[in-house]
Amino acid sequence: MDITQDIQALTTFRNNSAALLQQLKKSKRPLILTVNGKAAAVVQEAEAYQHLLDIAARADASEGIRQGREDVAKGRVYPARDALKAFRRKHGISG
């Protein structure tokens, strides 16, 4: 991060949005916008944001798998047939 370019006042962004968006696209680095000297928002290129979303989705999936493996290891699981019976009984579904 280059503090002289990557942190800008919201007013500066508002007045120079085209140039700053061009800088954003070129640098691929997020831009921190400040209000009264305090960080208020982060602006980043859409492709970079999508990349972060993809990373977060993979992390969520990995955590779900980890939790599932832990449940198996600790015996917190039971057969699907039993789970389906309990579900039908809870929701009054015959079958």
Q: Going residue by residue through the chain (95 aa), what tens digit of pLDDT does each one get? A: 666 679 999 999 999 999 999 998 898 899 999 999 999 999 999 998 999 999 999 999 999 999 999 999 999 998 999 999 999 999 999 87
Collapsing DSSP states into helix, strand and coil, what is residue 66?
Answer: helix
Number of domains in the chain: 2
Both 37 and 13 in a single domain?
yes
Both 29 and 14 in a single domain?
yes
Choose among 46, 25, 26, 34: nearest CA to 3. 34
Q: Strand order in 7-9's β-sheet? A: 7-9, 31-35, 38-43
Q: What's this model's pTM, rounded to 2 decimal places? A: 0.62
What residue numbers bound the domain in which 53 lies? 48-91
